[in-house]
Structures are given as structure tokens and as C-alpha cells.
Amino acid sequence: MTQINMMETKTDLSKLVRMLETRQEDVIYFVRNGTAVAQMTLIPEKKSKKRIGVAEGKFKVPEEFDVWDKEVEEMFGREI
């Protein structure tokens, strides 16, 4: 945790952000007259929503699915 006064914040903003990005600090407090008035933290990374499995249970593979493979093979002379 770092505390920095408002005047220093103006001149060192890039340095402060870099400290957060490199995980040197988790939170930086901005202090005015000895009292913390604001804080700066990293924005949490958004996790992408996985779409795989959204239709789970909605589709059933037909029993004759493998039979269809053999029919297609025969149509192409067993060259697939």
C-alpha cells in the first residue's frame, strides 16, 4: 500500500500506474492534508464467457449415426 499526496500524483501518475501493473502495489491511496481521499487499483480482467457446452443436453446423437458414416463411405468408394 502506497500513500501519495495530491501534488505528487500529478507528476508521477505514469509511475504509479506502472507500479500497479507490475504488481509492486495492490492499491495506491491519494492523500490530502494527511487524509486518504481516493484510491487507485487495477481494473480486474474480464474472463471471456465460454460458449462451449451451452447446448449441453439439447441434442442427442442418433443411434444410426455410425451407419450413416458407412453409407457415405460406400458412396465415395471407401476413399474417405
Question: Which pLDDT tens digit goes with each residue over 49-75?
Answer: 666 777 777 888 888 777 777 778 888
pLDDT at 14: 92
Reported pTM: 0.54
Contact 16, 9 (CB under 8 A): yes
The whole-angstrom separation of Cα 13 and Cα 10 is 6
The pLDDT, as a whole number, for residue 27 is: 94
Q: Which of 6-10, 20-24, 27-31, 66-70 has the lowest mean pLDDT?
A: 66-70
- Among 17-26, 38-47, 58-67, the range with the most confident prediction by mean pLDDT is 17-26
3-state SS class at 39? strand
Q: Which residues does 73 contact at the CB level (< 8 Å), separation at least 6? A: 80
- Secondary structure of residue 21 in the 3-state scheme: helix
